[in-house]
Amino acid sequence: MLNETAVKLGKTRSTIREIFEYGNKRAAEVGRENIFDFSIGNPNVPAPDAVQDIIRELVNTEDPAKLHGYTSAQGAPENRKAIADDLNKRFGTNYNENQLYLTVGAAASLTISLNALTSSKDDEFIVFAPYFPEYLVFIEQGAGAKAVVIPPREQDFQIDFDTFIDKINENTKGVIINSPSNPSGVVYTNETIKKLAEILKDKSNEYNHPIYLLSDEPYREIVYDVEVPFVAKEYDRTIVCYSYSKSLSLAGERIGYILVPNVDKFDEIYAAVCGAGRMLGFVNAPSLFQKVIAKCTGMTSDLSVYAENRKLLLEGFEKMGYSCVKPDGAFYMFPKSLEPDDRAFCERAKKYDLLLVPGSDFGAKGHVRISYCVKTETIKRALPLFEKLAEEYRK
């Protein structure tokens, strides 16, 4: 008699959450410092000091009735303008505030966009493995459409274009990409993005309807020694889904945006975004943090800890014989498990209190996700344990 889909979703904790709870249990037994929890993508680097300073300033100087009051549903115009200006400055684009719709974070950006686009239960959205698992929930249970998964291209986690082209059909409404990627840390190359754009243009023409690219970009600012192509410049039917969760370490505050492309039928698409936000119960993005992000454009948290952690892990793993596609962004890496069964491998890692997430959860078995947004000390102390784990497989 209840919504059984919702009941099931509410009861099946994600594997990540299971591991997190297991970690808490073990921490109570052997001490938090002896648990090496690489399961959760909660930034451990604090928000920049400027965030705290701006919160203080806003609280000290603004009229509280206004500061904490409703904004327009799409976000206060001046906050949207600050974001558009920043994008234009950084990417040489020409956006205006009326193309932005502020959201309660990336998950909301995605559910709103997916609901805005979905007009039939036959609509299909393509995702590339390894993928963020909630995409399937947002597409299927959230928007009532179909998720089509393209298997991983194991050698580099770029796109397997042959399979991708095969899977596009008249029902294809959109494609979700996530570069830098959760879980692999891989950044799509310029070549990948250009080829993707070309195919989407061709296929939109072939099927005589637009195929939208949903670019989920919470890790856009977190990269190491590479440039992340600004996807929306390459393909003009790109809907950017952004969040400040990772770049400003504000994951709990739920603040992000949707950038609607200025293409034909712009008014309709933007209206659909507003309408979807309204029917899902999003009234406006949190007002205080709207102002905070508007005043923190262009900033990021100190990313040097992630860079250091990444270097230590990659160097260590190479010596130990772990094989890993080079993660150029985010704070994840996705090495191969040392046995084909990634779940068995993760169980074995638990012996050393190394908590890893099986790749199967991201549609790529034979791998594990390591979330390295932890203290560098944790990495240093974990490396000998990874070596012990590898040692078991050398026998």
Please give the residues from 130 up to 169 whose contact with a copy of itself meets the rule CB under 8 A: 134, 137-138, 141-142
DSSP-derived secondary structure letter, 177: E
Query: Does position 278 bind a copy of itself by CB under 8 A?
Result: yes
DSSP-derived secondary structure letter, 35: -
Q: Which is nearer to a copy of itself, 137 or 193 (CB)?
A: 137
Instruction: Determine if 117 is a binding residue for a copy of itself (CB under 8 A).
Output: yes
> Does 43 interact with a copy of itself (rule: CB under 8 A)?
yes
- Which span (164-172, 185-193, 281-289, 383-391) binds a copy of itself, by CB under 8 A? 281-289
Is 94 a binding residue for a copy of itself by CB under 8 A? The answer is: no
Nearest-CA neighbor of 251 among 369, 106, 93, 395?
A: 106
Binding-site member from 50, 148, 288, 390 for a copy of itself (CB under 8 A): 288
Element (H, E) at 109: helix 106-117
Size of the site for a copy of itself (CB under 8 A): 81
Sole window of 108-116, 224-232, 306-314, 361-369 interacting with a copy of itself (rule: CB under 8 A): 108-116
The number of beta carbons lying within 10 Å of the beta carbon of residue 224 is 18
CA distance 154 to 199: 21
Residue 155 corresponds to which amino acid?
Q
State which of residues 282, 317, 331, 362 lies at the interface with a copy of itself (CB under 8 A). Answer: 282
Q: By rule CB under 8 A, what string of x and - marks binding of each residue 228-257 to a copy of itself?
A: ---------------------xxxxxx---
Q: How far is the CB of 252 from a copy of itself (least distance, A)?
A: 3
Closest CA to 351 of 40, 36, 16: 36
Q: Is 135 helix (H, G, I), strand (E, B) or coil?
A: helix
The per-residue DSSP string of 268-332 comes to HHHHHHHHHHHHHT---S-HHHHHHHHHTTT----THHHHHHHHHHHHHHHHHT-------BTTE
Q: Minimum CB separation from a copy of itself for residue 236, in Å?
A: 16
Q: Considering the rule CB under 8 A, would residue 223 count as an interface residue with a copy of itself?
A: no
Q: What is the Cα gyration radius of the chain?
A: 21
Q: Which stretch binds a copy of itself (CB under 8 A): 39-47, 150-158, 309-317, 332-340?
A: 39-47
**CA angle 360-364-368, nearest 5°?**
65
Q: Does 10 bind a copy of itself (CB under 8 A)?
A: yes
Candidate residues 18, 34, 52, 311; the one interacting with a copy of itself per rule CB under 8 A: 52
118 binds a copy of itself (CB under 8 A): yes
The verdict on 377 binding a copy of itself (CB under 8 A) reads no
C-beta pairs of 51-58 under 8 Å, 24+ apart in sequence = 51/248, 51/250, 51/292, 51/296, 54/291, 54/292, 54/295, 54/296, 55/288, 55/292, 58/288, 58/291, 58/292
> Hey, is 11 helix, strand or coil?
helix
**Per CB under 8 A, which of residues 158..217 are in contact with a copy of itself?**
173, 209-210
From CA 25, how far away is CA 39, in angstroms rounded? 14
Q: Is 77 in the site for a copy of itself (CB under 8 A)?
A: no
Q: How far is the CB of 248 from a copy of itself (least distance, A)?
A: 8
Among 79, 95, 105, 294, binds a copy of itself (CB under 8 A): 105
**What gap in Å lies between CA 150 and CA 386, rounded to an integer?**
31
Among 26, 42, 326, 352, binds a copy of itself (CB under 8 A): 42
- Alpha-carbon distance of 71 to 236, in angstroms, equals 29
Which whole-number Å values give the CA distances from 83 to 15, 88, 167, 292, in the listed order?
Answer: 35, 9, 35, 11
The least CB distance from residue 19 to a copy of itself, in Å, is 14
Stretch that binds a copy of itself, among 28-36, 57-65, 87-95, 319-327 (CB under 8 A): 57-65
Report the site for a copy of itself in 297-336 (rule: CB under 8 A). none
- The sign of the torsion formed by the CA atoms of 172, 178, 183, 188 equals positive
* Contact pick of 79, 179, 181, 287 for a copy of itself (by CB under 8 A): 287
User: Is position 358 an interface residue for a copy of itself (rule: CB under 8 A)?
Assistant: no
Provide the residue type at 385 as one letter.
Answer: L
Q: Taking contact as CB under 8 A, which single stretch among the options 63-71, 196-204, 227-235, 356-364 is the one that binds a copy of itself?
A: 63-71
Shortest spacing between CB 62 and a copy of itself, in angstroms: 10
Selected range binding a copy of itself among 149-157, 174-182, 272-280, 358-366, rule: CB under 8 A: 272-280
Task: Identify the H or E element spanning 172.
Answer: strand 172-177
